[in-house]
Amino acid sequence: MISLTPKAIEKVKEIMGQQQPVPGGLRVAVVGGGCSGFSYSMQFDNGSAQDKTYQYEDLKVFIDPMSLMYLDGVEVDFLETLEGSGFKFNNPNVKHTCGCGSSFQV
């Protein structure tokens, strides 16, 4: 199961509310690419019948079956620091990340 921190939920809902039309939820996925093999993807979507759907307050999160096995136990957080802000994936299944931290191996 994937989890989102309260800060991540708040930020996703804030950004989602600015979209026209307002999407049904957030798709979180693992895609091939990057120097270590896989990277994370987040985009607004309306979901599909094959997705596993999670509900966080009034936010729906959609995950496709292939990504589900790589996202088991992942926590998504939103961080704001002096260097910048963004979503951070804390994945206990990762064996190695690239130097820039944007891709990973499991």
- Residue ranges in the chain modelled with pLDDT below 70: 34-36, 95-106
- Report the domain count for the chain: 1
CATH number, residue 17: 2.60.300.12
Residue 29 lies in a domain: yes
Residue 106 lies in a domain: no
Residue 85 lies in a domain: yes
If DSSP codes are grouped into helix, strand and coil, which group holds residue 82? coil
Q: In whole angstroms, what is the distance from residue 85 CA to residue 104 CA? A: 20
Residue 103 lies in a domain: no
Q: Which domain holds residue 39?
A: 3-95
User: What is residue 98's predicted lDDT score, i.e. its pLDDT?
Assistant: 52
How many other C-beta atoms are found inside a 10 Å radius of the C-beta of residue 5?
17
Question: Which residue, among 70, 71, 51, 73, has the nearest Cα to 60 in the 3D structure?
Answer: 51
Residue 52 lies in a domain: yes
User: What is residue 11's predicted lDDT score, i.e. its pLDDT?
Assistant: 96
Query: Which tens digits make up the pLDDT trace of 69-89?
Result: 889 999 999 999 888 899 998
**Token pair 């979507």 in the structure block, residue:** 45
If DSSP codes are grouped into helix, strand and coil, which group holds residue 68? helix
Residue 101 lies in a domain: no
Residue 72 lies in a domain: yes
Q: What is the pTM of this model?
A: 0.84
Residue 86 lies in a domain: yes
